[in-house]
Every structure is written in C-alpha cells, then in structure tokens.
Amino acid sequence: MPELPEVETVARYLRETVVGETISAVVIADSRFADLEEAHELVGRRVVRVGRRGKYLSLELDDDWVLQLHMMMAGQILVRPKGHAEDRFLRLHFDLSGDIEVRFCDSRRFGRAHQLEAGAYREFLKSLGPEPLANSFTTRRLLEALASRKVALKSALLNQQLIAGVGNIYADEASWRARLHPLTPAGSLSDAEAGRLHRGIRQVLRDGIASRGTTFSQYRSAEGEKGEYQSQLRVFQRTGEKCFRCPGTIQRIVVGGRSTHFCPRCQPVSRVDGS
C-alpha cells in the first residue's frame, strides 16, 4: 500500500506539473471507482494547490472544490502527456490545459476519488492524527497519542486517527529502529522509548521520501518510475534473514491481521500482553 513517502513523492511531482493548470475534462472510466456525482463542477477550475494529508492526495481548486485521491492498496496516479499510450487498469483521468493528463489506475479497484466542498474538506483534515514529519509532532505529542492504549504498538502505529500516514512497511521499520517489540502495549512506552520511536518514525519516512518510496510490485511515482527504498529495508519482508544490527534472525508474526516483521533478539519481548 502506498504510505506517506509514496504519496508525498507523487504529490511533489504533481506540484511541479499541475498547479496553475485548468481542468478541461473529467473522464470516469469505472463508475464504481469514483464518487464524483458533480464532476462537471470541476471542469474549468484551476488547480491552485496540491495537498497531502496522511495517505490522501488533494487537488485544491480555485472555487473551493477539492478533488481528493486515495491510492489504497494498488493505485497509481500518473501524469502523462496527452496522446500517451493507454495505461492498464485506468479508472479515472482528467485532462489539463497544459496538454497533460492525470490518470488514476488501479488493478484492484480499492482506490477512491472524492469531490469535496471546502467545509467537508476541513472536517476531513481534522479527522486524522498529526503529521509525523511536522514540527509540531514531538515526542510528547507521540506519547499523548499513545497514552492509555493497550493495543499492540504495531496496531497503534497503523491507526490513522493517532498518526497520519504510517502504514505497514514504515511501522515495522520504525519499530526496529526503536528496538521495540511490535506487541508492546502502545500506552506503556517510557519517555526514552518514545523518543527512540519518534526518531525512528521520522527517519524512515524521510529516507523513504528521499528514495522516492518503496516498490514491491505495483507502486509507481507519478512519472511511472519505481521507488528505491526497498533496498534499504531492515526488517520488512526479510523473514528468515539475518538482522543488520545483531546476530538475530528476522521473524514474521501477524498483528491485527497485518504481516509484521521484527528481530526477536534486539526487539525483545517486554510488557507484551498479546493484545
């Protein structure tokens, strides 16, 4: 699933290419994919800003409409010149004045496109947890988000109402950096442990963005290129391989229905209640 680094990579390219352009057409190739009942309202509107909140992309338009895009599991948002060869699994595309198209492709149809008015968009922004790369996201803010939570740390990190944008890959990588077992009760972290986790989250997200995301199968940047962070992963999908930090061997368990990877030697069981 595209997570914060992948979505931010796409957002940065969109900011370079579509801001200032005007939407000339919206074509819904799969009616089950897009909630755009008033799509005609978007035509003629200029893109004034490309935003990202957690794993969501938004094209903010000059009439206070917002076109919100979520790639979910297998979505791809691609910028193509008009007349470019057709991309597979095209579900939605919109034409822009600069002779370019933004195409939303998705082999699994889990991705979504929504049309929001300004008020609904502001309410949506409030519904998500803090942005982990924002200056306001401090160790104290992390501790407050996790306070009194008995669920496993891995599950808490995936909760978008607690922290926006962290998904399966980067949760495992951050926990490894913090030397924390993924089943540690989220609300039990000490100040020192929370400090390590805070640094781990921010570092893996920054490294992921610098490498233009992680590609195992379907993720592509808006230019259609694979990410490169997979070569830097320390635990995710490395089951049975040696730990980069100690003599341990990476193990896989399932936490909250999600594959979870860790080193049992340098992320030892501590205070684990299995919840």
| CA dist., res. 205 & res. 55, Å (int) | 12
Q: Is residue 152 a contact partner of residue 186, using CB atoms and an 8 Å limit?
A: yes
Tokens of 27: 């074509």
Query: Which residue out of 52, 53, 55, 103 is catalytically annotated?
Result: 55
How far CA 14 is from CA of 78, 161, 187, in Å, comes to 9, 26, 38
What value, to the nearest 5°, has the Cα angle with vertex 51 and ends 50 and 53? 160
**Residue that is written with structure tokens 């968009």 in the block:** 121
Reply yes or no on whether 3 is catalytic.
yes
Question: Which pairs count as long-range contacts for 224-230, CB under 8 Å and 24+ apart, including other chains?
Answer: 224/78, 227/5, 227/6, 227/9, 229/5
Reply yes or no on whether 226 is catalytic.
no
Query: Which residue out of 252, 258, 264, 265 is catalytically annotated?
Result: 258
What value, to the nearest 5°, has the Cα angle with vertex 124 and ends 8 and 200? 40
Query: Which residue out of 3, 8, 60, 101 is catalytically annotated?
Result: 3
Reply yes or no on whether 258 is catalytic.
yes
| CA dist., res. 197 & res. 43, Å (int) | 45
Nearest partner of 68 among 77, 95, 149, 209, judged by Cα: 77
Catalytic site residues? 2-3, 55, 258
